[in-house]
Structure 1
Amino acid sequence: MTKFSTATISAALKARDAAVAELAKGPTGSREASLLATVRDNDAIVREAIENGAAVQSQAEAGLNYRTQVDRSQRRDFREAKLFGRELRDIAPGSHEGDTFANITLAAAANGSKILGKVNVFPFSGSKGMVPVAPRATAQLTAPAGALADGNVPAMVAPFDVVKVTAYSTVDRDELQDYPFADSAIESALASAVGQRVDHVLTVGGTDGVTTVEGFTGAGTATAGTTVGTIELADVRNAVARVEDGGGNANALLMSPMGKAAFLTAYADRIGGLPEIITIGKLGDGTAALNDFSFIAADLSTVGVAMRKDIEVTHVLEEPSLHKLDRVALLATARVGGVSLANAETVQVVNGSAV
């Protein structure tokens, strides 16, 4: 029996990581079997140490964030892992089944989309669809029995293209089998990553190399900020006024987190009456949608967004680099069509300058 101790676990993890690092470098020839055995054996040492330690020591004594939940009766087939309401065994490659519309799932994720819950999302289930967009019409004063003035303002049903937004994570297959409580963490991570990227697409558009979709910065009306290096209160109030002058009701300001912080620091006592400020932060790789001196004022109720109704979930384990490490890749994919506007004036994009 492996006795629980931080020294035992530390040594096993170091040995395991060293073997994984060597495998990751490329072909290892006759040493591959030995390295894989090192990974497997040290995984077993860590697992047994934690199981035995949790049985005799308190959480505080063990120095763990959670008590292990693993025993022989809890081990499962990795395909029993459940993501977005379905077990992996029930999700075939290319499946688009789910329990909840994708926009609701992504908006509900802890760090997911901040925009999808505030715009008009039109779910579709095929490869293409249409987005109904309400136009701005002008009402006429008409005399009794008089002829209507020529005011042809057709309702719009806009076609759209979509881009795929995919997030993935890899996990050791033994860990996916042994720790059922990891499912929710994996799902949250994937939904958050997809939701954040969708917000970037809706803000600045995007391309997958084949299809390009527009975001607010392409579909809205752009103007230049009056000063450099910061967001000015006068620019914000003027942008809100232009939204309302165009027939909208400005209900949101989009800024970068640092841009918002600087703006509030400068004008905290004078922002009464402004719409909600929504921050669009950087992605995990550091990509920013908005710089710290530009912003968007919008009536989000006038924005139409097409989105495939289900999140596609896929698992991959036969890819060579994963197979030799006994790891599983889990992928979540959404399809979004950018933004559709009947009136570009309801989204005002103010581009500041750094210098």
Structure 2
Amino acid sequence: MTLADIASDAIARREYAVKQLRNLDRNGKPDTAREAELLATIAATDNAIREAVDNAAAVENQKAHGVAYASPIGTSKRTRDHRAVFGMNLREFGDGEFIAIGGLDNEPVAQTLSAAGKGSRLLPLVNAYPFDKFKGYVPVAPPVTAHVQPRNEADDFLAGLVSAELPEVIKVTAAMSVDNDNFVDVPATEGLLNSSLLAAVGQRSDHVIVNGGTDGDVTVPGLLTDGISTVTTVDAFTAVELFAAVARVQESGADATAIVGNPADIAAVLGAIDGTKVPLLPPFVALPNLEDGTAIVPTGTLIVADLSSVAVGIRRKPEVLKSENSPDAHDRDLTLVAARARLTGPVLPRTDRVQVLKVGA
């Protein structure tokens, strides 16, 4: 653990404590015990930050005099009370219950689950409508045709009904565990745990958007579900077929914003077509397989779509769960952590704004 890690961990814990203290004030209900605990946390983190700065100055002084600095200091002062996920101290929430991840108020959930490019690659491109409860509405506006108003003739207002659908929602969860000694001694473990969980949830969210999903009771559709998009069987992914699919999207009154497929198919397409034509096509978005090998986009399938016309409902804040008391955690001295998102399947105003190309047998 470096001095930078120590300072970063202390800053994250201090920011979380300050936020909790502000929320405590907003509630208007005095909780002196909780206030004292948060103030103590802030004081402790301030001391840790000052110590890290002082130690860094000492290290630079040693280097200037040719003294090698081999081992970081301050690690021994960390205890299990310092363990945190997503900047939230484990003492702040109960065992075995999902709660909303704090500290994400200013970041769209689509961006959070993109996990800096390692998670969802579709959520930042589709029209993601956040909701705050167990379900959320997804507004849909059908395309309408304007006309020259005939004199003394009434308009037909019912031809274009804007609606707000309440689609079914499924939960996407990723679960991991961390050795408690590592959790205490290596603060960087928290950041790695956070990013790994968000990346996994984001990738599975892409799988749901493309293929749909079911939890056994609730089923949501995906872009490849019958009736959601327009499917065309082709002999091969040629430039002619791709431009024809782009034209069909344009004929629907939209513009294709992406060509989505698995990395191997996209690489084959880019290697086969004239390179001068590639810039004329929408950007290619390669969706790698999930960690267990499950394909997000099946081999032999490309999706040419206006992804801005694809609406998806998703809960505004991902949720996190930790468990220290379950038998697996207790017996092996682990902390179990899970992250979860709630989302709907895609909703489209017109099926032809998503063109699916499938190579025939």
Q: The TM-score by the shorter chain falls in which range?
A: 0.7 to 0.9
Q: Secondary structure of the equivalent of 1:248?
A: coil
Q: Provide the rounded CA distance (Å) in 2 between the counterparts of 1:144 and 1:212.
A: 49
1:80 to 76, 79, 82: 82
Q: Which residue of 1 aligns with 2:103?
A: 99
Contact 1:128 1:161 in 2 (8 A): yes
- Counterpart AA for 1:251: T
Q: Which residue of 2 aligns with 1:220?
A: 228
Q: Provide the rounded CA distance (Å) in 1 between the counterparts of 2:116 and 2:212.
A: 22
2:270 to 244, 264, 267: 264
Q: Provide the rounded CA distance (Å) in 1 between the counterparts of 2:71 and 2:219.
A: 46
Alignment of 1:1-355 (within 5 A): 69=72, 71=74, 73-77=76-80, 80-92=82-94, 93-100=97-104, 101-149=108-156, 152-218=159-225, 220-227=228-235, 230-269=236-275, 270-353=277-360, 355=361
**Higher mean Cα deviation, 323-332 or 215-224?**
215-224
Q: Secondary structure of the equivalent of 2:329?
A: helix
Q: Provide the rounded CA distance (Å) in 1 between the counterparts of 2:312 and 2:212.
A: 12
Q: CA deviation at 1:149?
A: 4.9
Q: Deviations over 1:39-82 (max 9, x none)?
A: xxxxxxxxxxxxxxxx9xxxxxxxxxxx86565544222x5333
Q: Percent identity?
A: 34
Q: Deviations over 1:134-191 (max 9, x none)?
A: 2111112212333225761100211111111111111111111111111111111111
Q: Provide the rounded CA distance (Å) in 1 between the counterparts of 2:262 and 2:243.
A: 18
Q: Structure 1 residues 188 and 69 mapped into 2: Cα distance closer, same or farther (>3 Å)?
A: farther
Runs (5+) with no aligned partner, structure 1 = 1-54, 56-66
Q: CA deviation at 1:94?
A: 2.7
- Counterpart AA for 2:286: T
- Counterpart AA for 2:88: R
Q: Structure 1 residues 273 and 68 mapped into 2: Cα distance closer, same or farther (>3 Å)?
A: farther
Q: Provide the rounded CA distance (Å) in 2 between the counterparts of 1:74 and 1:337.
A: 45
Q: Provide the rounded CA distance (Å) in 1 between the counterparts of 2:77 and 2:351.
A: 56
Contact 1:220 1:346 in 2 (8 A): no
Q: Structure 1 residues 146 and 211 mapped into 2: Cα distance closer, same or farther (>3 Å)?
A: same
Q: Deviations over 1:261-295 (max 9, x none)?
A: 00001014232311011011100000002223211
Q: Which residue of 2 aligns with 1:39?
A: none
Runs (5+) with no aligned partner, structure 2 = 1-58, 60-69
The alignment covers a number of residue pairs equal to 286
Contact 2:210 2:222 in 1 (8 A): yes
Q: Which residue of 1 aligns with 2:52?
A: none
Q: Secondary structure of the equivalent of 2:175?
A: strand
**Higher mean Cα deviation, 262-271 or 181-190?**
262-271
Q: Deviations over 1:85-119 (max 9, x none)?
A: 42222233231242224322112434011111111
Q: Provide the rounded CA distance (Å) in 2 between the counterparts of 1:81 and 1:122.
A: 33
Q: Secondary structure of the equivalent of 2:296?
A: coil
The TM-score, its normalising length taken from structure 2, stands at 0.74
Q: Which residue of 2 aligns with 1:24?
A: none
The TM-score, its normalising length taken from structure 1, stands at 0.75
Contact 1:220 1:344 in 2 (8 A): yes
